[in-house]
Structure 1
Amino acid sequence: MESKRQRQVAEIIRRHFGMLLQQEGAYIYGPEPLVTVTNVKMTPDLGLARIYLSVYNTDNKQAVLLEMEDAYPRLKQALHGRIRKQLRRMPELEFFLDDTLDEMERVNRLLDSLRSSSPASSEEE
Structure 2
Amino acid sequence: MNSKRQNQIAGAIKKEFSNILLREANHIFPANVLISITKVTVSPDLSIAKIYFSIFNAKDPEEIMEALHENQKELKRSLAKKIRNFRRIPELEFFSDDGIEHAQKIDDIFKSIKKEDDNSKE
Q: Which bin holds the TM-score, normalised by the shorter protein?
A: over 0.9
The residue that corresponds to 1:99 in the other structure is 98
Note if 1:25 corresponds to 2:22: no
- Shift in Å, 1:73: 1.4
- Shift in Å, 1:96: 0.3
Identify the range of structure 1 (37-46 vs 111-120) with the bigger mean alpha-carbon deviation. Answer: 111-120
RMSD over aligned Cα, in angstroms?
1.0
- TM-score norm. by structure 2 comes to 0.95
Higher helix share: 1
Q: Distance in 1 between matches of 2:30 and 2:84?
A: 27
**Amino acid in structure 2 at the alignment position of 1:43:** S
- Shift in Å, 1:8: 0.9
**Amino acid in structure 1 at the alignment position of 2:107:** N
- Shift in Å, 1:112: 0.6
The residue that corresponds to 2:7 in the other structure is 7
Q: Residue deviations 1:83-124, cap 9 Å, x none?
A: 112x2211000000000000011001111111111112234x
Structure 1 segments of 4+ aligned residues over 3 angstroms from their partners: none
Q: Work out the number of aligned pairs and report it.
A: 122
Equivalent residues in 2 for 1:1-125, closer than 5 Å: 1-85=1-85, 87-123=86-122
**Amino acid in structure 2 at the alignment position of 1:108:** D
**Amino acid in structure 1 at the alignment position of 2:89:** M
Query: What secondary structure, in the 3-state scheme, does the structure 1 residue paired with 2:55 have?
Result: strand
**Structure 2 portions without partners, runs of 5+:** none
- Shift in Å, 1:25: 2.8
